[in-house]
Amino acid sequence: MAQLTFSQLPYQRPDCNDLAARSHELVERIKGANSADEVLSCVESWNSLRINTYTMASLAEVKFTQDVSNEAAKAEKLFFDENGPTITECDNAVSQALLASPFRQAIDDRFGDLFMTRLKNATLTFNPSIKDLMVQESELSTRYNEITASAKIEVDGTTYNLSTIQRLVIDLDAGVRHRAYKAMGDFLLANAEELDAIFDKLVKIRAEKASKLGYSSYTDFRYIEFGRVDYNAADVEKFRDQVREFVVPLAARLRQAQQQRLGLPSMTTADEKLQFSDGNPVASGDHDWIVDRASKMYSELSPETDQFFQLMLNAELMDLKSRDNKATGGYCTSFSAYGLPFIFANFNRTTHDIEVLTHEAGHAFQAYRSRNLPVPEYFWPTAEACEIHSMGMEFLTWPWMDLFFEDQTEKFKFYHLQGALLFLPYGCAVDHFQHWIYANPNASPRERNQQWREMERMYMPWRNSEGFPAAEQGRVWQFQRHIYEMPFYYIDYALAQTCALQYWKWSELDRAKAFESYLSICDIGGSMPFLGIVKHGALKSPFTEGCLKDIVDYSYSVLRDRHPSYMMGN
């Protein structure tokens, strides 16, 4: 049978009444089962039902983010916003029946005990009493997406969106950079009232959800909902402390060297993305040129990646070009009923084009490798483990970066490795900020903005926002869609970066062994929790004493010793 392409994948809106009836039938069969085989058969039937529903939801999400102005796509997205809680309620009923089954041990034996742990946690974070709140939350997140995706920002007579304007904030002309950054901030100011109102409602809705289910805070609720079963908020706080102690001082020295390279008397937030006085490294060709070279890269990396990337090309499973009314950012999802991943990104002729391609390809490769695991809970691991796959792929493809950057390859490697270090304080600032937000759900928008400024002082003390009103007010966090749409999804990047840097170091010493480990953690998907995956891959836990300091110090020493001209004595 010929492989379907993305445009050929059939979409059918689920019938919620039918879902409810079939879920009820499964519940009754589980309750009346007289053998383990009967219960296991119910799990298989439930998996098929869920996989089909989740696939339709993913198709609706992708088509909406491809064009937020498309009314038909918006209608399907709205359907899932409004009916997602009902679908969750159906799943929850089956989960509870399985958890109460006398044949639970047989389920553990077949699927592993993490499966039932995931089901239990799902029941702890859902109750029909919060359905209306879940609908409101989804609709508010969708509205945030519409605002940011439809941005039209004028600079020097040309109109940009939030993706294409990124070219200007790395322009060699400081005047252009500053005008572009200010224009982006002016977009926030022009939409400040609605952006503030959306987020204020989101925070209060989330706090109310947690309260209705008996949690003392949304933070506790979200850690369970997010599947963090082998570490907690206290562990994360200790990790952030380590970042402040060991990484922030090094990052400050990197920023000082950057200012010297750029020849600036002082550096503002508008200058931060430009790393070199002759320009950041940029891929030498356009979209088609990049994809063609990516195909060569993945064909040479391994037989497994070659097979995967050819599928992505042949089935049209990548949407990488930026355009008006396309949602910002990049992501990877999957259409599990067809065993297909999908990559969404916004190329904008910056260094980020290659980074986002390899990053999202890491996610997609893992989803492809674990597509046949026995339960949907294992198709993807939890977020921080997912980001090891993506960030790890960024570093494991280093030997092929000359395909894209040619004579700028060494400059790119400096840029990329330095970026990994500079990201850690920012990632922790976002996480710390979110912990503060949900510890203070009644704070005003102004107090939240002030707190973001405090986070900048704590984690990015070099940051100078003078002359940029939106940044001075503490509003730039509103560009970070995770804070609106996926609360507490951000420390995941910092934890994963610590692991990805280990893969980078390992690959320099023994590329074959490093890739063998990487492949193994892709193959197990979400069948282990985060720390189990880290151990399986023979990596060190980011929470282990000294792990962060060791890998950060090594990375900094490589920057200093291999690229002394860029470090300017630092």
Task: Give a yes or no: residue 110 inside a domain.
Answer: yes
Q: Tell me the C-alpha distance between 414 and 567, whole Å.
A: 10
For 319, the 3-state DSSP assignment is: strand
- ∠ CA 161-474-140, rounded to 5°: 60
Sheet arrangement for strand 318-321: 318-321, 340-347, 331-335
Residue 21 counted as domain residue: yes
Question: Please, which residues have CB within 8 angstroms of residue 502's CB and are 6 or more apart in sequence?
Answer: 539, 540, 551
Query: What is the pLDDT at residue 1?
Result: 60
Range of the domain at 13: 8-128
Structure tokens, 202: 């989101």
Walking along the chain (570 residues) 10 residues at a time, the average pLDDT comes out as 90 97 98 98 98 98 96 96 95 97 96 96 96 96 94 96 94 97 97 98 98 97 96 97 97 96 96 96 95 98 98 98 92 97 94 96 98 97 97 98 96 97 98 98 98 98 96 97 96 98 97 98 98 98 96 96 86
522 domain-assigned: no
The predicted model scores a pTM of 0.95
What whole-number distance in Å separates Cα of residue 424 and Cα of residue 160? Answer: 29
Largest Cα–Cα distance in the chain? Answer: 78
Q: Which pLDDT score, from 0 to 100, does residue 2 have?
A: 74
Residue 345: burial class (beta carbons within 10 Å; 0-12, 13-18, 19+): buried
> How many domains does the chain contain in total?
1
**Amino acid occupying residue 18:** D
Residue 95 placed within a domain = yes
Which of 84, 86, 112, 115 minimizes the C-alpha distance to 98? 115
Q: Which helix (H) or strand (E) holds 155?
A: strand 153-155
Helix (H) or strand (E) holding 159: strand 158-160
Q: Give CA–CA dist 56/13, Å, rounded.
A: 7
Q: Quick one: which of 436, 468, 461, 435 has its CA closest to 450?
A: 436
The answer to whether residue 38 sits within a structural domain is yes
Distance of alpha carbon 351 from alpha carbon 416, whole angstroms: 9
Indicate whether 68 belongs to any domain. Answer: yes
- Quick check: is 405 in a domain? no
**338 found inside a domain:** no
Overall residue count recorded for the chain in this entry: 570
Q: Write down the pLDDT at residue 569.
A: 60
How far apart are alpha carbons 254 and 252 in whole angstroms?
5
SS3 readout for 79-101: HHHHHHHHHHHHHHHHHHHHHCC
